[in-house]
Amino acid sequence: MTELIGQILGILALIVTIICYQLNSQKKMLAAQMLAATLFTVNLALLGGLSGALLNIHGICRCLTFYQRGRHKWADHTTFWVWFYSIAAVVCVALTYQSPLDILPLVGQIFTTISFAQKDASKVRLFTLPSPPCWFVYHLSTGNIGGTLNEIFVITSIIVGMFRLDRKKK
């Protein structure tokens, strides 16, 4: 039953993530990412992917910080926050390390941290592109159906968003 609930939450997170990259606002994208990360946190915890679960909590905090940019002065120090959250991601994996596969979502998390520091939605999509392959292998290793499908759809959604939204800008 625990695995079934975990798999269902992973599929719900997948749906939210697909929608995320079709949004044309960095703030809306961050809000969708926070919801997906919340679902993936529980999903991965139920499936035994502790590093991935903790990195998703990390991702929620990171999104909350970047969401506050332009509203609060403390959140506008983008370079500081990129370094802070990149180091924090390393600490998360160090605390939950189970195998060398745990390094992959760490790399993906750092790419996503850099991407969400961007203010322009097209740059968010561009800099997020390296992350899905890293997470794909990790989700596959944890038996996470929703997570594995998520990364396939994320990369597809990013590319569709790039053609649909970003190509028009050039």
Q: Which pLDDT value is given to residue 31?
A: 87
**DSSP label of 100:** G
C-alpha distances out from residue 3 to 54, 146, 168, Å: 18, 12, 43
Query: pLDDT class for 170, splitting at 50, 70, 90?
Result: low
Q: Which residue has the tokens 């979502």?
A: 105
> What is the total count of domains within the chain?
1
Q: Which domain holds residue 54?
A: 2-169
Q: Which pLDDT value is given to residue 33?
A: 85
Q: Which H or E run includes 101?
A: none
Structure tokens at 115: 């991407």
pLDDT tens sequence across 22-43: 888 877 888 898 899 999 999 9
> Which residue, among 92, 85, 136, has the nearest Cα to 111 in the 3D structure?
85
Q: Which pLDDT value is given to residue 120?
A: 85
C-alpha distances out from residue 82 to 60, 72, 75, 117, 149, Å: 14, 17, 11, 7, 28
Query: pLDDT class for 141, splitting at 50, 70, 90?
Result: very high
> Does residue 96 have a pLDDT over 90?
yes
Provide the 3-class DSSP secondary structure of residue 168. Answer: helix
Any residues with CB less than 8 A from the CB of 50 and at least 6 apart, and which? 44, 96, 98
Any residues with CB less than 8 A from the CB of 11 and at least 6 apart, and which? 145, 146, 149
Q: Which residue has the tokens 């800099």?
A: 127
Mean pLDDT of the 111-122 span? 87
> Does residue 110 have a pLDDT over 90?
yes
Query: pLDDT class for 168, splitting at 50, 70, 90?
Result: low
C-alpha distances out from residue 126 to 49, 96, 166, Å: 27, 29, 10
CA 114 and chain centroid, separation: 11
